[in-house]
Amino acid sequence: MVIGLGRFGSALALELVSRGTEVLGIDNRPKVVQLMVGRIPHVITADTTDIEALRQLGVAEFHRAVVAIGTDIQASILTTSLLSELGIADIWAKAISDQHGNILTRVGAHHVVAPEHDMGERVAHLLSGRILDYVEVDADFAVIKTKPPRDVVGVPLRESRLRSRWGVTVVAVKPQAALAGRQPTFTYATPDTVLSYGDLILVVGAVDNVERFAAAE
């Protein structure tokens, strides 16, 4: 169940639908719902701050819900607490600030996501150095997509001493050149992997370390 079909909720619902997940989309604005008819198989107009409306929709049958209401904080908090009261096992909620996130956790959200905040942080990393993609997997640990610095090119990874020099590990490589006519894809790296200029690599490590590595010439 995805509640609130704004930019975040509609993108989430459509992605789930495209991956074969059964989704019920809910929004209190009929115009928004109308736009999703035919794109999300089950989509309905309802005010999710009304417990009777939730009961009528059979919401308690769902084991997972995402509250994607952001701007209307009151509606977001009320909806989350009602879903918790109805015993939904896995509630995800979108927060627009830290305080909002804290309240959502207190009223029963099991997971809080802050897409604007996270994306802002991510773009900051993309802007610095050669980082082409950045995913923080913990507060101080990240996976980045980047290109190899000069002195790790042309030698097997086991000889590039990546851990002792930068504290990072190369986990996958996408060769720049197509091999045997096949489109290049990412494959796991081994100690024997030899990187070339222009290859794309996935590197994991502490945030400071992956950043230092990506800034190396």
Q: Which region among 68-76, 145-153, 171-179, 180-188 touches ligand ADP (by CB under 6 A)?
A: 68-76
Closest-by-Cβ residue to ligand ADP is 6
Q: Judged by CB under 6 A, which of 2, 17, 43, 49 binds ligand ADP?
A: 49
**Smallest Cα–Cα separation from 216: which of 150, 160, 171?**
150
Number of residues that bind ligand ADP (CB under 6 A): 20
**Which positions from 72 through 131 interact with ligand ADP, judged by CB under 6 A?**
72, 75
Closest CB to ligand ADP among residues 43, 200: 43
What residue ranges in the chain does DSSP mark as E strands? 2-3, 24-27, 42-45, 64-67, 90-94, 111-113, 133-138, 141-146, 168-174, 187-188, 200-206
- 181 Ramachandran zone, left/alpha/beta (phi>0; psi -120 to 50): left
Torsion, CA 113, CA 119, CA 125, CA 127, rounded to 10: 180
Q: b/e map of 94-125 (b: 16 or more CB within 10 Å)?
A: bbbeeebbebbeebbbbebbbbeeeeeebeeb
Closest CB to ligand ADP among residues 2, 168: 2
Binding to ligand ADP by CB under 6 A, coded x per residue (else -) over 3-32, reads xxxxxxx----------------xxxx--x
Closest CB to ligand ADP among residues 29, 55: 29
Q: Judged by CB under 6 A, which of 19, 20, 71, 177 binds ligand ADP?
A: 71
* Footprint on this chain of ligand ADP (rule: CB under 6 A): 3-9, 26-29, 32, 47-49, 69-72, 75
